[in-house]
Amino acid sequence: MLNLSLLTPALALAGLALLILLADMLLPRGRERWLAHLAWISCAGVLCLLVRGLGDPAALGRGTLWTVDPFSQFFQTATVLAAMLCLLLSLDYRDLPRRQAGSFSALMLLSVSGLMLLTAAHDLLLIFISLELVSLSSFILAGFERSHPKSNEGAMKYFLFGAFASAVMVYGISLYYGAAGTTRLDAGAPPDPLLILSLLLILLGFGFKASLAPMHFWVPDAYEGAPTPVTAFLSIAPKIATFALLLRVYGAFFPAGRYGLQALLGLLAALTMTIGNFTAFFQNDVKRLLAYSSIAQAGYLMIGLAVGTPLGLQGAMFYSFVYAAMNVGCFAVVQAVGREGGYGLDAFNGLAKRSLGLSLAMAFCLLSLAGIPPLAGFIGKLYIFAAAVESGQYALAVIGVLNSVASVYYYFRIAQRMFLREAKGEPAALAVGPYVYGSLAAAVAGVLLLGVHPEPLIAGVRASARLLP
């Protein structure tokens, strides 16, 4: 059964991306920003399409290479939402070449549509193709500030690492084909050594995208060099979509417990959290600091996968959603501050005096990342740690909470500069673009509301934590 109609939202987005590329050639000079707006509207339209299909039996089902279930719908919605917020940021980002606004937004859309396919794929072929679609567009996006050496360096590293990870993954896929005789993941192959080896190699490839340690080395450089809206995008959308994939493959198709991978997943979670947090201590560039923070955050998500229970799955889903909100919020402020002062931590000195609202928003997002109640990040962590405690994985829970404590230290290095230090010279008011404000307001509202009133999202997660076989 082909059932191509199941993929309508993703394909529509890809089509719109191509349309924007085409329009970019025809549109007269100076009108390129129209295309950026058009891209945002396209995303909004696709979002409407997705939301209308939520839980609709007609929108669910299996195709040849894909499965659209409530689970994939949840992650598609989250990804598109995150992408919309990042596109908003890009509308106010000054260092983006104006002339290329069209191709920039088209690449974003292509990447999002790849991610949407990824969350629904149940066949390694589709997984590989959509991962490459995401990767290729992200490589270009990361290097979009061509005149900026760091951007070039980051993009190059990202590309080399990515190519390497892809190669390893393709090798894994070929082994999988040898072991299972098909590229379908639902073949129910028995756990023989060849299959497990192939699963490990595939995990390496996925781990690269999800920035799990020890496949995380590209992250700080790529994040530091990429234009800030792209950094925000890279730190969220590919990560949560890859987690959807990880949850599907290592949670549903090849339950880690049955294939003897549980200890490895737990180890990866612990390693990712710890390396991310403890390396973040020493960063003096906000983007690098947040890059390491995002690695650590992937570690918390990984706990949900390593636990492998329904509660763990729900926890990871909930946390991915709120993670998107808090990270967008942080990067929105970073972009607003970095526009004048650069991305050193010193740029945040005395921010509270320049703009109390912006500082409080940043503080809320950072506190949420650290898991301090009553913010959304706390409920997410509560969910994930609860899953670990429920399944008796106390070691993982203890490592998780200790990491949360450690992370407070570096998140507060930013808060400390904003509130406790004085800015050099007379504190000048900060000019913040309207689009950044919009994006920030949405993110902070999410962080606060989902912390104080998380019930709707929890109910949504519970209804969506249903994977079709």
Partner 1 sequence: MLSLITWAPLAGALIVLMLPKEKERAIQAVSFAAAGVSLLASIALLAPFDGGSAAMQFVERCAWIPSLNIQYFLGVDGLSLPLVLLTTLMSFIALIGSLGIKTRLKEYFFWFLLLEVGMLGVFCALDLVLFYVFWELTLVPMYFLIGIWGGPRKEFAAIKFFLYTLSGSVFMLLAILALYFRAVPHTFDILELMRAQAGWDPRFQSLVFLGLYFGVAIKIPAFPFHTWLPLAHVEAPTPISVILAAVLLKMGVYGLLRLCYQIVPAGFRWFLPALVLIAVVNIVYGALCAMAQTDMKKMVAYSSVNHMGYCLLGIAGMSAAGFAGAVLQMINHGVITGALFLLVGVIYDRAHTRDLSAFGGLALKLPVYAGLMMLASFASLGLPGLSGFVGEFLCFLGAFPSWKWQTVISVLGVIATAAFFLRMIQKVFLGALNEKWAGLQDMTTRELVSVLPLAALMIWFGVYPKWPLDLMNATLARMLGQ
**Contacts with partner 1, residue ranges (CB under 8 A):** 352-353, 356, 363, 367, 372-374, 378-379, 382-383, 385-386, 389-390, 394, 397-398, 401-402, 404-405, 408-409, 412, 415-416, 419-420, 454-455, 458-459, 462
Closest to partner 1 by CB, 398 or 441 = 398
Instruction: Choose between 263 and 402: whose C-beta lies nearer to partner 1.
Output: 402
Pick between residue 290 and residue 396 the one whose CB is nearest to partner 1.
396
- Nearest distance from residue 357's CB to partner 1, in Å? 9
Please answer whether residues 301 and 319 qualify as being in contact, where contact means their C-beta atoms are separated by less than 8 angstroms.
Answer: yes
End-to-end Cα spacing for the chain: 15
CB 436, min distance to partner 1, A: 21
Nearer to partner 1, 58 or 429 (CB): 429
What single-letter DSSP state applies at residue 27? S
What is the nearest approach in angstroms of partner 1 to the Cβ of residue 329?
16
Nearer to partner 1, 104 or 364 (CB): 364
Shortest Å distance, C-beta 131 to partner 1:
33
* Nearest Cα residue to 187 out of 247, 122, 246, 118: 122
**Please, is 260 exposed, middle or buried when counting C-beta atoms within 10 Å of its C-beta (0-12, 13-18, 19+)?**
exposed
Question: For 274, what's the count of Cα atoms within 13 Å in the CB-facing half-sphere?
Answer: 12
Spatial contact of 281 and 409, defined as CB atoms under 8 Å apart: yes
- The distance of closest approach from Cβ of residue 358 to partner 1 in the complex, given in angstroms and rounded to an integer, is 13
CB nearer partner 1, residue 110 or residue 365: 365
CB of 363 to partner 1, least distance (A): 8
Copy the structure tokens of residue 9.
């939202």
Q: Residue 250 CB, nearest distance to partner 1 (Å)?
A: 24
Q: Are 258 and 295 in contact (CB under 8 A)?
A: no
Closer to partner 1 by Cβ: residue 62 or 462:
462
Q: Which of 183, 178, 451 is nearest to 322 (CA)?
A: 451
The answer to whether residues 208 and 215 touch, using CB atoms and an 8 Å cutoff, is yes
* Positive/negative CA dihedral, 210, 216, 217, 220: positive
Rounded Cα distance between 226 and 85, Å, is 17
Helix (H) or strand (E) holding 61: strand 61-62
